[in-house]
Chain A
Amino acid sequence: MSEDDFFKKASVVKLDTLSDVNDIGKPWRYEEDGMTVTRTSPWSPPGCHPVGCGLKLYVDAEGRLERVEGDENNPVTQGRLCPRCIALKDYIYNPARLLHPMKRDPKDRGNADAWETITWDEAFDIIKAEYDRITAQYGRESIVVFAGTGREGGTFFPFGSMCFGTPNFCYTQSGYACYTPRLAAIAYIGGTTYPEWDYAGALPGRWDDPRYDLTEVLLIWGKAPLESSPDGFFGHAVIDAMRRGTRLIVIDPRVTWLSSRADIFLQLRAGTDTALGMAMLDIIISEDLYDHDFVSYWCYGFDELAERCSTMPPEKAATICDVPVEDIYAAARMYAAGNPAAIQWGLSADQKTNGMQHAQVIVSLMAITGNLDAPGGQLLPNSSAGHNEVGFGFDKGVGDDLLAKMVGLDQYPAYCMVILNAQADLMLKALETGEPYPIKMGFYAGNNLMSCTSMEPERWHDAIVKSLEFCIGFDTFMNPSIEASCDIFLPLKTVAERDGTVFTHYAPCTVTAGFMHEAITVGDCKTDYELCYELGRHLRPELWDKEFNFRSAKEFMEALRLGKREEGRYFDKVAENVVCQIPIEYYKYEKGLMREDGTPGFATPTGRIELWSTAFHGFGEDPLPYYEEPQFGPADPELMEEYPLILTTGARTTAFFHSEHRQVPRLRALNPDPITEINPVTAQKYGIADGQWVRLSSPFGECVQKARVSEIVDEKTVHAQHAWWFPEEEGSEPNLYGNFRSNINNLLPNFHFGKLGFGAPNKCFVCKIEPIEESYDTDMTEVWDKFGKLV
């Protein structure tokens, strides 16, 4: 396929609610009413998963962003936007946004008033001096790049590999309990990567494309796609499908918008999904509802799977999951009967110790029902898919010797190799103990770990502050992690200020490729690739100027994202399309498109979907799915005496992306306070009134949140929001923007992951809850006063 075909301008499908007067067919940049309109397809920052929603940026003659509208030309979003993009201007021109490099004496760490504005040159000089000193003394492996989620920086491996040359790029959530476990599962079982629901995103005719079959049954499992567009999936595509007739099954401990409209809603006990999935497999197999052809041609280990699942009859699962057994039967039959049917699998598969097995049953369900790579089923990437830079620059930038020193690689190769990441829990241990070697320098690449990603955040805080001699924060706003631990702050450009690319679903199984266009300039900021390029050349000129030889930062980006080196010209050419639909084919495994060697089948040792996983077996894990009770839960009656409630955390809200956006009053007003959802019966039992503040505690710690008394959760469960801090509050230590007051991660542990190193019990823990007299209600007037007047 020619390059021009690959990055071909997406065809436009007009939304039926859109009026006849619209901007369909407009070029990537045009003039309107004295304003320059730039069509773009954003990723980050502010953080979001890569959907690349269509955006029109209206910029006035003075170069100021006037307003943001949805771009009707985007084939998936079709002009629709969530509030976070609609409020983009309030983020960009927020008075709290930081627009220049700053430094602070390391002895002043934690003092919000001790920052001093500097030039980029001075910043590079300081970093260079510290880099040279630390690497000379401790080696490059003593540098850790803290990666977060949802930002380009959070997946920007060249920071580690090429810029600093460290093997320790580290997503700091215990057990990498986000997305990667699912990626690992499909990689080890199916030799491919993320199988997204086929919502016709890549097809020119979208839902009406002749190649597409409407999904009859969509099973949404532990996911709330409407609020967050998770994993780069445009959540409201579910609504589009529902309007066309797709029926829903929802599995979730919480009532969601979707579950309230589902044919079947299984409100299971948090953390018991694997049991439920095994029971569904058992029903489908024992009732002979599976796809015999697919199983016999393309699956390996079916009999073993059948036998294993027969140990989890639906009646047993019903007791474990606390759902009516007839609903399990109904759900299994409905899913199996769907032709096609698909599963939207969510974060809950990652956030449990038993999560890898949860992912395993889900992949098995997709496989034995014949929905893999079928139109309207689960779309699979082809063998050359992926514009993900995992591994980019590793050989030259890090080298094999140093790669071998990646923290955790020896113990958890299944984890470290699949994503080339240091194992998070062991990184914590290394920071705390200096074992296997000291960690001395840090870099925040779009991560606010103390507020969001890391469990026991005070422990991480103490370890980082104690261990690191030098640390750099690179972000749009100050945050508690940078405030506590950094000596240099570098300002980051937002989506409106930058060029770049966005591939849906983080590149695996991409359906659209989008391009970001710089429309405005604000302050003195850089993008991730610009910083990497410039900082890399300062720190490691021998490598950048001799080995890499990129002629510009843009060419570096072009190489990284598009595999070209044309001084940015290729980027400029294809970027004019703003958004492209990636050509796809169905049933690729029949056509030899899934394997590097071009033979039919899947890229696994057996060439089949390994229901009995040879890879798991190789890693010493059980090759078949099994159910394990959450360690912290009813399996421990003594623990439950003191902590009688199931705690599940982290459901998304429309207002925020993780710990971001708390400074945007328009968004904050949607959700001013950290909310704990509690059932009315439970609330009454503990004397908790709606709107009252409560203390949540576990064996690991406590926090306070505001109760929302609601039947969203059942009587045994509470749900608490995550990633709360309060940018309007005092920033200096010890308050640190109130970072540890309402932080639900205080209650959650590190070091409770599964056998392969993956998973953490964020969504299936225990707690007790008690009302408190105090109120910490956010004063929105103060938020508006501090952040509402744009600069």
Chain B
Amino acid sequence: MDYQEFLDSIDKEAYHEGEWRWEEDGYTVTRTYHYSPPGCHTSCGILLYTKDGKVEKIEGDPLDPCTNGKLCIRCLNLVESINSPDRLKYPMRRAGERGENKWERISWDEAYDEIEEKVRSIWETNGGNAIICVHGTGRNINWQVPFFGQAALKTPNISTFGFTGFACYMPRVCGAVAPFGDFPVVDASEGHPARYANPEWNPPEVLVVWGNEPLASNADGFVGHWLVPCVQMGTRIISIDPRLTWWGARADYWLQIRPGTDAALACAWLNVILEEDLYDHEFVDLWCMGLDKLKESVKDMTPEWAAPICDLDADDIRNSARLYASAKPGAIQWGLAFDQQLSAMSLCLAGCDLMAICGNIDVPGGNILLHNAFEINAGYATGEHFTPEEWRIKKLNNNFALSIDGGDFVAHASSDGLLQAIEEGFPYPIKMMWIQSSNTLSCPGMDAARLYEAMQKIPFIVNADPYMTPTSVALADIVLPVAMSAERNSARTWWTPARAMVKVADFYEAKSDEQIIVELGKRLNPEVFNQWDSDIDWLDWYLREGSGSAFATSEAADNAGIKSSGSTLFKHTWKELVEDPAMCGHAYDEFNASYNKAAKGLYRPDGSVGYGTPSGRLELTPMLYTYWGLSDTPFHVEPPEGPISTPELMETYPLILTCGGRSFEFFHSEHRQLPTMRELHPEPLVLVNPKTAEKYGVKDGQWIWIENDHGRFKQKVKLSPRVNEKTIHAEHGWWFPESKAEAPYLFGTFESNPNNCTKAFVTGQGGVGSAIKSMICKIYPVEPGDKMPYEQIAETGNFPWYKKVNSPRQDEIDRFHKAMDAGMEYEVFSNELFDPANNERFDLKTGARLAE
């Protein structure tokens, strides 16, 4: 791949260089970016061809330096998505019971009236904290919805609801902020507009693709296919994955690790690199702290120790560690698997330590530390100051939910804390849920049937989405139609460059996330929202003033010492970003285009050299971990169920179940309505090794049950050597929009859902991490007459053999209810009971009476 040759070969006139809009063959062509819906983590340059206000064609923009005109099929199929007959056209109010799928069309004003009335009434009676504000992942709402929740709904309880242990991205974000003060991303030249032709850049010598399939998913704002040219330029591969992937098939080492044991491997790599003295002395001396403690902590964690844990060959562990350590530079592409195991925070730390001791931080072709473009940091905490203090302190965070003593280092409310509140009314009841772009029941909702039952208790639920989803049918009282990417003015500043999305079409009465938020915000909190007349006004504020925390709460950012100037470095308006021929929708900033930023003083607010950590160094044993109550050295925790922790249970459930690997056709639970996607991928597929299939009497193409001590789900067998004989891999996010909507079937959302088997409240240290990629199960063929999951759930609320996992605070919950019955009062922040009868106070956690 010769990048310059490619650039030279593009007919710039044919692609209208420097124009953001033109006429061509009867179409109006708009040069812009896609960024959701449908959901995605990245944002690629596209050319939208419209005629009579309708998008008729889409193609990639070869002049866009982000993706050079390359598009994945989710964008290529955008027209089918935008014009799908299954889309919501109007706001609707439920006309029958929940689950009956009966609706009456209402106007936006009627919808806003009803929502406003409900919200204000909850503020009066229960406080804003009794509202939960939910958003999904991958949609362009990661700052908008939290802002709306905090500033308009006035609740601190913002969440990707249903996700025990924050097990998606957050562990890596916090796990990297602590040692690095920033977030490491593989350098595939994406920081600089010259891309692969940037003379400073070179490809990684060795790329470790770890618990990640970047090609299918573009996860975490990173375009996976950026790495393929690197491989073409000579990058060698180490793949760490229980599944064979494109990477594993081309790797020098494919370590087919037992799911959930990555931390043991990481510790063993650290052991090899430190014991064999393979680390970068100069870099560590100059820029790191904590080496001795780290070295001491892993000294016994040899490859021989890790091999039986990880089910790997000790020599392969040793040799692959040497290969990574020898690379100048090496890069680690880490994935969701880091978040989805009990060792999550430990594993993220170990991963960071590996990058740091090998001197791969912020060097060309290594792991660069990226910021949001132009420090446009409107983020999760941007609206927090608009929530009244009395409600804000009642945030259902891990502090309250899981008895972890430590700082409030996560901006989300905890899913488990929310579930506890919904199920138990502890520490207070939940009265409303606002869902924007989350199909809770089909995708993120772990312990799916339990969530479904619990959510029925919420009196008022609004769901804003482009489509009618199982979640809406089952639970919503009002549904609001959301505009899709081409129908939306928006912008994105996640990593670089800053990118703009332009509205080119309308779909019935659908409104964009920004429009809905500004309009409803004006009703609920005019003081804040009246400063903006329109969605574009709000975007201009975001681009030019959108400050806050890049990563988590302001508190976390402050503690980390991250550069947070309070205002952005962007000087243009949204319209200029869109139309200025020099930008045409995108703008690169200097910070992200620079390497070795620590030496240049770019990380620290005072301009001094060093990193944005309390110590100014890369903290191999981070102080923040200690502050958060976490071990500051890496360690391995066994999955809660498995051959080592529960060998007796393996007799009943002999296979390891890993799940959630992405496919090209779908973004999580989206895209199932689209004929082209379903043509390529009609049914949920579970990968089974041929030998395993033979052993358990299942065949290729057969529907089988995958069952654990919680529940079961069915998928279609795809025999493949991609998984070993001990492991199967199931897909997530499946529902069947072509099937029956009404409850209990609900588009079949429970039929193939691995979350029938996942467990709430089972987390790792800090209440973080979940073992959903390392469960155990048995498999057997689906037989005629078998009861389907929806039938079982309809009969008893869950599977007959379901064993509910109680909250680790169950004692406190019981104590709480007794105290409430006895007329006592409860104070959330201090977690104390107060008896007004005799002025006594009790610690809810221990039950002990407190001294005056």
Contact = CB atoms under 8 A, between A and B. Distances in A.
A/B contact in complex, CB under 8 angstroms: yes
A781 B701 contact: no
A781 B702 contact: no
Interface in A117-134: none
Nearest to B783: A773
B679 to A, nearest CB: 12
A683 B774 CA distance: 40
Interface in A770-787: 773, 775, 777, 779, 781-782
Contacts of A773: 783-784
Interface string B688-731: 00110110000111100000000000000000000000000000
A775 B702 contact: yes
Contacts of B784: 773
A777 B702 contact: yes
Contact of B694 (A691, A775, A777, A782): A782
Interface in A553-609: none
A779 B701 contact: no
B699 A781 contact: no
A715 B690 CA distance: 36
B694 A779 contact: yes
Interface in A16-45: none
Nearest to A784: B690
B700 A781 contact: no
A691 B701 contact: yes
Nearest to A777: B699
Contacts of B783: 773
A782 B701 CA distance: 17
A777 B700 contact: yes
A777 B701 contact: yes
A773 B784 CA distance: 7
Interface in A736-791: 773, 775, 777, 779, 781-782
B691 A779 contact: no
Nearest to B701: A691
Interface string B769-784: 0000000000000011
B701 A775 contact: yes
A674 to B, nearest CB: 15
A691 B717 CA distance: 13
Contacts of A691: 701
A393 B699 CA distance: 54
A151 B701 CA distance: 37
Contacts of A782: 694
Interface residues of A, number: 7
A781 B692 CA distance: 11
A310 to B, nearest CB: 49
Contacts of B690: 781
A775 B691 contact: no
Contacts of B694: 779, 781-782
Contacts of A779: 694, 699
A707 to B, nearest CB: 12
A70 B699 CA distance: 37
A777 to B, nearest CB: 5
A779 B698 CA distance: 9
Interface in B451-505: none
Interface in B637-691: 690-691
Interface in A663-695: 691
Nearest to B702: A775
Contacts of B693: 781
Interface in B37-53: none
Interface string B783-827: 110000000000000000000000000000000000000000000
A255 B783 CA distance: 36
B386 to A, nearest CB: 54
A608 B701 CA distance: 60
Contacts of A777: 699-702
A22 B285 CA distance: 66
B739 to A, nearest CB: 14
A777 B694 CA distance: 12
A775 B693 CA distance: 14
Interface in A287-307: none
Nearest to B700: A777
A537 B592 CA distance: 95
B736 to A, nearest CB: 14
B174 to A, nearest CB: 46
Nearest to A691: B701
A442 to B, nearest CB: 38
A775 B694 CA distance: 15
A474 to B, nearest CB: 35
Contacts of B701: 691, 775, 777
A779 to B, nearest CB: 7
A782 B699 CA distance: 12
A30 B784 CA distance: 62
A782 B694 CA distance: 8
Interface in A709-742: none
A782 B691 CA distance: 10
B1 to A, nearest CB: 32
A657 B784 CA distance: 36
Nearest to B690: A781
Contacts of A775: 699, 701-702
Contacts of A781: 690-691, 693-694
A782 B719 CA distance: 14
Interface in B311-355: none
A777 B719 CA distance: 13
A777 B702 CA distance: 9
A753 to B, nearest CB: 40
Interface string B518-545: 0000000000000000000000000000
Of listed B691, B693, B701, residue having the most chain A CB within 10 A: B701
A213 B700 CA distance: 51
A775 B783 CA distance: 10
B681 to A, nearest CB: 14
Nearest to B699: A777
A118 B196 CA distance: 76
A777 B784 CA distance: 17
A781 B721 CA distance: 12
A661 B693 CA distance: 25
A673 to B, nearest CB: 10
B149 to A, nearest CB: 44
Interface string A243-259: 00000000000000000
Nearest to B697: A779
Interface in B184-227: none
Contacts of B702: 775, 777
A708 to B, nearest CB: 12
A689 to B, nearest CB: 9
Nearest to B694: A781
A782 B690 CA distance: 10
Nearest to A774: B784
Nearest to A785: B694
Interface string B356-387: 00000000000000000000000000000000
A783 to B, nearest CB: 12
A777 B699 CA distance: 7
A691 B784 CA distance: 17
A775 B699 CA distance: 9
Contacts of B700: 777
B714 to A, nearest CB: 14
B720 to A, nearest CB: 13
A232 to B, nearest CB: 37
Interface string B239-277: 000000000000000000000000000000000000000
A782 B783 CA distance: 23
Interface in A419-473: none
A373 B691 CA distance: 59
11 contacts: A691-B701, A773-B784, A775-B699, A775-B702, A777-B699, A777-B700, A777-B701, A777-B702, A779-B694, A781-B690, A781-B693
Shortest Cβ-Cβ A-B pairs, 9 listed:
A773-B784, A777-B699, A691-B701, A781-B694, A781-B690, A775-B702, A775-B699, A777-B700, A777-B701
Given A777-B699, A779-B694, 4 more contacts: A773-B783, A773-B784, A775-B699, A775-B701
